[in-house]
Amino acid sequence: MSKIVYDELPLIIIKHNLFDAIFSLQGAQLLHWQPKSARSPVIWLSQNSLFKKGKAIRGGIPICWPWFGNSNQKDHPAHGFARNELWQLTKTVIKDDIVSCTFMLTENEVTLSLFPHEFKLYLIAELGEKCKLTLRAEVNFESTVALHSYFEVTSIQSTLVSGLGEIYCDKLATENIPQKIGSMTFDQEVDRIYQQPELVQTVMDGQRSIRLSQHNVTDIVTWNPWIDKAKKMADLTGDSYQQFVCVESAHLQHSFTSFNKPINELQVIIESL
Ligand code: BG6
């Protein structure tokens, strides 16, 4: 395990017998994970991503907290501040079959100006043949959350995601009809919140399957910007929308944390099959 600085951001590089991985300390964001059994990375990272202090990294698994999407307050960053802040790596355990890293974020001047509450947010990452991510939030206030995972696919047009359930809220005006109930394919921009997902989703691109097992996740968000929106995003290249699909593990319908339930966890286990 080593630490480097890439442009403005510190990165943790892990090379293990069973996998390679990279984390950014900004956002406690997993940028790369590839088990040795997989022919290509499971997690997608944009070649055009910025590595600048306070700017979200495009790709990997950004943590959206303490709100998902746009805040109702002007000038507050989309998807919260957790992905823009520098976290601390507080614990590392290295074993033959697993590397476990605990990252922590707590309030500071910037977060208090956006969200006037003390909090502790932990990401516990257990990496090996599988990738298990547990997010734990401790705060006496309402929050929503998503692990905004970008998965690498050979082509978005040949990708099918199953296990989403049938009920979804479409964040776009256009319609993309699911090809099969509970599964979806992609032929245009997609931005949906599936509100009754199954416990397991599978992302299939014709070459391999990625299995996601969810715990305490109430919603799954599916997102791909497609060509026109991708062209307008400086941190994506023109055709890179073809190489990823976002399948996000979220807790949006009810508050993830609140006065009544100030400590909560969600978890996703990712496997490349
Ligand atoms: C998704 C949202 O989770 O993230 C989309 O549902 C949003 O509406 C997308 O466009 C990307 O967000 P950002 O802030 O990383 O560009």
Contacts of 131 (CB under 8 A, 6+ apart): 21, 30, 33, 42, 125, 269, 270, 271
The atom of ligand 1 lying closest to the CA of 68 is 3
Residue with tokens 């995972």: 149
What pLDDT, on a 0 to 100 scale, did the predictor assign at position 152?
98
pLDDT of residue 171: 83
Question: What pTM was estimated for this model as a whole?
Answer: 0.97
Token pair for residue 23?
Answer: 């984390």
Q: What is the pLDDT of residue 236?
A: 96
- Ligand 1 centre distance from Cα of residue 130 (Å): 26
**Gap from CA of 189 to ligand 1 centroid (Å):** 12
pLDDT at res. 177: 64
How many whole angstroms separate alpha carbon 15 and alpha carbon 2?
Answer: 9
Q: 55 by DSSP, 3-state: which?
A: coil
Site to substitute for ligand 1 among 191, 217, 244, most atoms within 8 A of C-beta: 191
Q: Is 270 in the pocket of ligand 1 (CB under 6 A)?
A: no
67 Cα: distance to centroid of ligand 1 (angstroms)? 12
Chain centre to alpha carbon of residue 96: 26
d(CA 11, CA 28): 9
Q: Which of 223, 226, 244 to mutate to test the pocket of ligand 1 (most atoms within 8 A of CB)?
A: 223
Q: CA-CA distance, 188 to 87, in Å (whole number)?
A: 36
Residue 189: CB within 6 Å of ligand 1? no
Instruction: Determine if ligand 1 sits within 6 Å of the CB of residue 16.
Output: no
69 CA from centroid of ligand 1 (Å): 7
- Ligand 1 atom nearest 56 alpha carbon: 15
Task: Compute the distance between CA of residue 230 and CA of residue 236 in angstroms, rounded to an integer.
Answer: 6
Instruction: Determine the distance separating the centroid of ligand 1 and the alpha carbon of 78, expressed in angstroms.
Output: 8
Length of the chain: 273
CA distances to 178, 242, 245 from 255, rounded to whole Å, are 28, 33, 26
Residues known to be catalytic: 148, 248
Reading the block at residue 258, the tokens are: 């609140």
Quote the pLDDT of residue 254: 87
Can you give the pLDDT at residue 221? 97
pLDDT at 178: 60
Q: What is the pLDDT along the chain (273 residues), one digit of tens a residue?
A: 999 999 999 999 999 999 999 999 999 999 999 999 999 999 999 999 999 999 999 999 999 999 999 988 888 999 999 999 999 999 999 999 999 999 999 999 999 999 999 999 999 999 999 999 999 999 999 999 999 999 999 999 999 999 999 888 888 855 666 666 778 999 999 999 999 999 999 999 999 999 999 999 999 999 999 999 999 999 998 899 999 999 999 999 889 999 999 999 999 999 999
Task: Please tell me the residue having the least CA distance from ligand 1 atom 1.
Answer: 223
